[in-house]
Amino acid sequence: MADAGIDLAFDDVQQALSAAIEELCADRCRDAEVRAAAGRFPEALWQQLAELGVLALATPEGEGGALELVAVLEALGAAAFPGPIPASVFAAQLLPEAERGALVTGRRVVSVGAAGLFPFAARADLLLECEAERVYRVEASAPIESIETLGGEPWGRLRSRRVEELPAPARAFALHDLAIAAYHAALGLRLVRDTAEHARVRKQFGRAIGEFQAVAHPLADCLIELEAAQLLARRAAWHFDRGPDPAGSDPAGAAGTLELRCAAGAARLSARRAGVAAAHTCHQLFGAIGITLEGPVFHCSRRLLQLASQPPGDDSARAALEQSLAALETPERPGGAALPGAAP
């Protein structure tokens, strides 16, 4: 997967998509609206998102590919936009055409869960359960039990029965990982920048706390790690749009499919680690107001921590990376072969 000559800046179309989402968020998804949406499904916002074509990105009914998806998810992440966005991206790759249309136009809502726990279960018209890399359409066999979550999302615990197993191509998992990574990195960067502004104006001992190395250095570390994760997501999307068929239907393209799956998984794992670290660091630097519901940033940090455990989980991404590393082993260098293109 050669990277020579890659320009990871968004082109005019991707910038226009991002700007449209930023305008929507500035008008309809300000911090007050995000806090008010806690504990319920954002009906009006969701319909507006569908009308802009966001839920149809990277599907036959929509426009654009992985890079356009990443551009939009970065804008949504920076606004802490609520709702099951990555789950909808995932489901849109699995459903047959007749059902996909209702999903991408916002007429139906999907919940993707695991082990009996489903986000937005009470509102969802479609329930998908993940077990490793297998996906099942399920139906509730008993009333849904509402549960509270760290991120403020309305989840449900339910007993269900499996109706059918859906084909689950690598493309679906890769695009889901890219959506999570782009959203997570952008939201983490927004949290770090808000914290940096707080550190600039908050004073202790007659000095802004941002002047102290114990504050500035952890924030700088978070910024570097989040920007790296963001670039990993863009790089994976660039290769995704130009690489072999990620569905993996062509045996000759199996190696390329694994590379794309690994690239998307690595972006998600990197963004997850950096996002969780940023949430912990920024909580400390804000002090008590960093973890109060009405505080300036808790709606961001709680969303970061919630996304870190969002189904489908990252086990399949880790498995793909382990498979890729195992494939690099050689008899001469067992367990430690160099990556392609690395110096001897």
pTM for the full predicted model: 0.89
Q: What is the mean pLDDT of the chain?
A: 88
Provide the 3-class DSSP secondary structure of residue 190: helix
Confidence at residue 339, expressed as pLDDT on a 0 to 100 scale:
41
Phi, psi of 334 (to 5 degrees): -60, 130
Residue 127 lies in a domain: no
In this predicted structure, the answer to whether residue 158 has a pLDDT above a threshold of 80 is yes
Provide the 3-class DSSP secondary structure of residue 47: helix
Residue 114 lies in a domain: no
**Rounded CA gap, 220 and 290, in Å?**
18
Give the CATH number, domain containing residue 270.
Answer: 1.20.140.10
pLDDT tens string 186-222 = 999 999 999 999 999 999 899 999 999 999 999 999 9
More confident: 22 or 247:
22
Q: How many CA atoms lie within 13 A of 231 on its CB side?
A: 10
Query: What proportion of the chain, given as a percentage, has pLDDT over 70?
Result: 90
In this predicted structure, the answer to whether residue 341 has a pLDDT above a threshold of 70 is no
Pairing between β-strand 155-157 and β-strand 117-119 as defined by DSSP bridges: antiparallel
Residue 63 lies in a domain: no
Residue 222 lies in a domain: yes
pLDDT tens string 46-67 = 999 999 999 999 999 898 999 9
Residue 83 lies in a domain: no
pLDDT band, very low/low/confident/very high, at 241 (cuts 50, 70, 90): very high
pLDDT tens string 129-156 = 999 889 999 999 999 999 988 888 999 9
Pairing between β-strand 126-131 and β-strand 110-113 as defined by DSSP bridges: parallel
Other CB atoms closer than 10 Å to residue 310's CB: what's the count?
22
User: Residues 124-129: what's their mean pLDDT?
Assistant: 96
Confidence at residue 136, expressed as pLDDT on a 0 to 100 scale:
96
For residues 281 and 291, is the Cβ–Cβ distance under 8 A?
no
Burial of residue 327, with CB atoms counted within 10 A of its CB: 0-12 exposed, 13-18 middle, 19 or more buried: exposed
What is the number of structural domains in the chain?
Answer: 1
- The residues with which 207 forms a beta bridge, in sequence order, are 204
Confidence at residue 28, expressed as pLDDT on a 0 to 100 scale:
93
Residue 35 lies in a domain: no
Residue 134 lies in a domain: no
Provide the 3-class DSSP secondary structure of residue 151: coil
Residue 193 lies in a domain: yes
From the CA atom positions of the chain, what is the Rg in Å? 20
Of 167, 28, 49, residue with least CA distance to 109: 49
Domain that residue 242 falls in:
170-327
